[in-house]
Amino acid sequence: MKIDIISLFPEFFDAFFSHSIIKRAIEAGRLDMAVTNPRDFSHNKHGQVDDTPYGGGVGMLMMAPPIFEAVESVASNYDSAINGNYETDEICDEMSLIGNPGESIRRRIVFMGPTGQPFTQEKARELATYDQLILVCGHYEGVDYRVEEHLVDETISIGDYVLTGGELPAMVVADAVARMIPGVLGQTGMESSEILKGVIENVHPDCMLVIDSLATRSIKRLCTTIQLTDTGISPGAGIGNNRSEINQNTMNIPVIAIGVPTVVEAGTIVYDTLEAALQKEGYSTKEIALFFDRIHDKMGDSFFVTPKDIDEKIKTVGDMIANSINACLAG
């Protein structure tokens, strides 16, 4: 996700970008953030971006043209970056099948102002579903009315009080939204159900297809089998880290789940190895079962491991699933 902030004071955000969750999200590639100064788009040699209100009155207002051009610039740059990274799928190269990413970019432009709707967790969840979020920070006594009337999609307020500018509200919104992006908090399933609810509320799909990593009890199934179900998933359940379920009851639409075993309990590796060795020595199934019963309580707490080439295996399985879905949709 890309969050662009339009502000007269870019240095205001230096510490915000370089600490805590925002820093980790940026370094992990889950989030991209930037600040653009509307002074860079001023048509005045002095970089003027404010003027007196039309018809008179106290205070100064931010002029519309620099803000319009700043927003247009960050939107255009994002579109160019997306289209520049786009490569036609090697197998399904029909544009009608894959689509043009430039036409499907979901963008939301928000003005941070005291007259907007109150910011809530539901709104944070909704904003996290967009590809690009542009936050416009006001200053002085306000902005030219044309900004709210013709440029932004909505105005958001973080409270019923007066601030010097929109920089602090923009940080509040950006922080709350960043926490909703999958992978930012780094806990299995914690953010999954929340972000999915926001997607459903905005795009109104007829059903949902979710793909999840599973813990397997057999080495032979590791990255070699696929589990398909219409009962949804329980993220983290396989490793005892239960999170909110993702199913028809929680999402209010049918949920089809595809599970791929990618992790295995270390104890399973020990059991499978010992079982193979004992069978080779001629022990019966009953004798092997009695042996495992005796050592079970001495195994202690176990942990989960993945194959050393897990990244390559996930890519292979991911390509297979993606191409299968494309083939089905293509008819």
Residue linked to tokens 């600040």? 35
> Is residue 93 very low, low, confident or very high in pLDDT (cuts 50, 70, 90)?
very low
Those residues with Cβ within 8 angstroms of residue 265's Cβ, 6 or more apart along the chain or in another chain: 215, 217, 302, 303, 304
Cα 274 from Cα 278, distance rounded (Å): 6
In eight-state DSSP terms, residue 308 is T
pLDDT at 202 over 50: yes
Per mean pLDDT, which range of 3-17, 38-52, 174-188 is the poorest?
Answer: 174-188
Residues 165 and 212 in one domain: no
Lay out the sheet containing 32-36: strands in order across: 32-36, 2-6, 132-137, 107-118, 154-157
Question: Residue range 110-126: average pLDDT?
Answer: 92
Q: What is the predicted pLDDT for the residue at 91?
A: 38
> Is residue 181 very low, low, confident or very high in pLDDT (cuts 50, 70, 90)?
confident
Cα 11 from Cα 165, distance rounded (Å): 14
pLDDT tens digits for 63-90?
888 999 999 999 999 998 887 765 444 4
Residue linked to tokens 């936050």? 135
Average pLDDT of the residues of the chain: 82
Residues 20 and 164 in one domain: yes
Residues 48 and 162 in one domain: yes
Residue of 145 and 187 predicted with greater confidence = 145
CB–CB of 233/212 below 8 Å?
yes
Q: Which uninterrupted H or E stretch holds 139?
A: none
Residues 170 and 312 in one domain: no
Residues 50 and 8 in one domain: yes
Cα 112 from Cα 62, distance rounded (Å): 13
pLDDT at 213 over 60: yes
Q: Which uninterrupted H or E stretch holds 311?
A: helix 310-330
Instruction: Specify the pairing of strand 255-265 against strand 208-216.
Output: parallel
Question: Residue range 184-211: average pLDDT?
Answer: 75
> Is residue 56 very low, low, confident or very high in pLDDT (cuts 50, 70, 90)?
low
Q: What is the predicted pLDDT for the residue at 57?
A: 62
> Is residue 55 very low, low, confident or very high in pLDDT (cuts 50, 70, 90)?
low
pLDDT at 208 over 50: yes
Number of domains in the chain: 2
Q: Is residue 190 part of a domain?
A: no
Q: Is residue 188 part of a domain?
A: no
- Percentage of the chain lying above the pLDDT 90 cut: 30
CB–CB of 188/246 below 8 Å?
no
User: Residue 258 is part of which domain span?
Assistant: 206-267+302-330
Residues 120 and 234 in one domain: no
Q: What is the predicted pLDDT for the residue at 94?
A: 37
Q: 270, exposed or middle or buried, with CB in 10 Å at 0-12, 13-18, 19+?
A: middle
Mean pLDDT comparison of 112-126, 201-215, 261-275, highest-scoring range: 112-126
Residues 106 and 255 in one domain: no
Q: Which uninterrupted H or E stretch holds 10?
A: none
Residues 172 and 213 in one domain: no
pLDDT tens digits for 221-241?
888 888 889 988 877 665 555
Residues 7 and 56 in one domain: yes
Residue linked to tokens 């969750």? 21
> Is residue 37 very low, low, confident or very high in pLDDT (cuts 50, 70, 90)?
very high
Cα 90 from Cα 243, distance rounded (Å): 36
